[in-house]
Structure 1
Amino acid sequence: MNTFMSSRLGKLIIAAAIMCTAFFTGSGSALVHADSPVTSTAIYKAYLDVKIVAEAEKNGLTRTVADYLALPANPLDVKAAVINALYSDLAWSDREHAEEYAQLVYGKSTASLDMSALNAQEMFVIGYLKVLDHYMEPDITWITAAQKALPDSQTVALIQALAAAQQNMDCSWIITEQVLNNTKLTKDIRPEAVDIITDYMALYKGSPCQSDGEGTTRSALTDAILEDGVVLTVGDSVVLARNRLTRVDEDNYKVEPYIRNGRTMVPLKFISANFGANIAVDLKKLEATVLYMNRKTVIPNAEILNGRTFVPLRAAVEALNKQVYYDKGLIIITDKIIINPKDKLNTEAVEQIRNVLKLQ
C-alpha cells in the first residue's frame, strides 16, 4: 500500500505545514531551511568549534573528511556532526554521499559491502549517510543495524529515531521522546545537539500518532487489538504493549523473541507483566511458574538468554489463557479479541499493526 501521505509529495506537504506553523507561532526564523526530521535537525552547529566539522560544512566530503569518519578511534558524536554538516546547504535534493564515501574508503559500492564484516561505527556512518542521501524515502536498514550493535549510545539512538520519524511523521515526537526519556543511554552527544533535535521535533507534539506507518488512518479494529494486548516481532526488541511503542527491555536492546529448533521463544516476564501475571523461575530446573488469576502453571524447557527468561510462545499464552495470532514473525497476543486470518478486516488490521512496528 503506497498512499498519498506516505509519498514524497505527501511528506513535503506535511513538512510545509510544520514550517508554516513554526513561522506563525514566532519560531520560523530558526526553521527557514527545515523540511523534515532528518534535514531540520542541524546538530553540526553544536560542533562548529571542531575543525573537521567546520571543514565538512565548508568543503563537503573530502578525502580528509572520509578518513576521519573511517577511523574507529574518533568520537561517534563528532562523526554524526561531520555527516550532518555535509548536508548543511539549503538546496536539499537527493545525494549519493554514501556511495562516494564507500568508494573512497573501501573502493566499492555499499551494495558490495558485507554488513556483517563491518564494525558498528562503520554501519553508523554509512547508515546516517544513506538516510540523508534520500531523506524523503530513507533507507534505515544500516542505521537500525548500527543502533542494535550500539544499544547504549544516545547519539545512535537519536539519529535512528530521526530516521524512523522520517518514515512516519505522525509519530515523530513519540519516537523521539522515547529516546530522550531513556535514562539508560550513555550521553555521548553534546547537550546543545540534543536541544537542537528536541526544539524541532517538539513541533510534532500533539500528533495523535494514528497512522499505520504508511499514512493510512488506523481502523477501529486495529486500535482495539492494540489496546487489548501485546505485539512482538521475532528478531526485534521493539514491541507494542497496550498501544504503547516500547522495547522488551529498555536496559538491553538485545532481548527479543527468537526461534529455536522450530519453536518461537518469547520473553515471559514482559508478556506476563502486561497482563498482570507474576512469574517465578527455577534456574536449576529451567522451569518457569506463572501465577495468574488464582491459577499456577509450570512451564518446562525455559531458556535464559541475555539475562531474561524465554519460553515457547504456545506455553506462554496457554498459561495466561490468552489469544495468539502468528504470521511471518509477527506475534499478537490479546486478552479477549480473536483475530480471524480468513476475515479481510482482521487481516487488514494485522497489516496496519505490522506497519506501525516499522517505526523502529
Structure 2
Amino acid sequence: MRKHIPMGDNGSWPEKLQPIGRFPVGGALFGEHRFVSSVWPDAAPPGEDWFMQEAGALIFWSSAEDAHKAVAQVEVYLDYILDFLSFQIQQPVKIVQLDVVDLTPPVRVGEMRDYISYPYPLGYMPPKLVGSVHMGTYQTVLYPQIPSSYVKLEKHVQRAVDWYVKSLHATTDADAFILLWISLEVLADLMGEKVAEATRLRCGHEIEKCPECRKQTASHRQGETLRAFLKSFGIAEDDVIALWRLRQIVHGAFRFDADGVNNLAARVQVLRAIVMAALKLALGVRPDQPPLVGFGGPAITPMVGIGGNKQITEWDVCFEDRSPVRVAYSDR
C-alpha cells in the first residue's frame, strides 16, 4: 500500500519528505472466519524499494481439511478486503505473498507443520486478476520488418487493429477478453452478414407485423449477427455459446470469482484466433501466412506455490486462536 506524505502547517509543503504508513490494524469476524490485520513482521519484504510502499499482513483462521481448501474458504473475504482498501485509497492493493500453515492445536514454536507458500514477489492472484501465458498457440513472423511506406487503413480496420494490439498489452485474461471482443464487434460490423429478426416478446412469441400499421417488425439483431460471425470461422457451437456467455462480462452479469471466469484463458485463445483470422481477411493477408494464431494449447499462470514443511515461528502463533488452519498473507 502506498504511504502518505503529510503536508506542513496550514497546508504548506512539508519541510522534509517523510512518508507515513497507513495500513489499518484491527480485526473482524466474517462468517465463521476471524481475521486480524497487522504490520509486516519485518521492516519490509526484501528486493524492492519500499520508501513509498508499505507492507502489511492479513491473517485469517479457517477450519479445513487441507491448505488448498483453506484458501478457497477465505478467498471471497480476501477479495472483499482488497477491494475495500483499493476503493478507499484509489490504488491497487496486491497480495505479494500468501502463506498457509497448519496450526492444529496444540502447537509449539519450533515444531514442523504442513505449509504452502505463494512467495514474494509474484505472490497470489485472485481469479479476476489472473493473467495467463499462452503456450504453443502462435506462429509469428521470425524476422519482422519495418514498413517501407505509410498506408492509411480503412477506419473500421484501424479501430479493430487498435483494440487487438491493446489486448496484447493486457495483463489479465479478463482485460484481454474484453479488448478482443471490442475488436470482434468492429470487424463483425464491417464484414459480417447482418441478421434481422422479428420482434420477440419476453414470452418467446414473435410478432412479424405491427398489429396496427401492419409493417414488418424485423430489425438488425446485434447478438445474432455476432454469433453468426463467430460461426462463420468454423467455431463449434459449444464455443460460440461459451464466448457469448462470457461476453456478458461487460454487463456485470457474473462475478470475477473462480466459477464466473472458469476456462477464461481457453476462451481467450479461441477469441484471439477468430479476431486474428478476421483481421487478416480485412488486411488482405493470406490465411496461411504468419502470424498464425491457434487455440487449444496450455495456458500457464505465472503464480508459483511451494509446499512442504516449515518450522513454526513466534510470528505464526503470536495471534492466539484455537482454529486449526491459519491463512497468512501480505499485501501492499
Normalising by structure 1, what TM-score?
0.29
**Which structure: greater helix fraction?**
1
Q: Which has the higher contact order (CA 8 A, sep 6+)?
A: 2
Normalising by structure 2, what TM-score?
0.31
- Of structures 1 and 2, the larger Rg is shown by 2
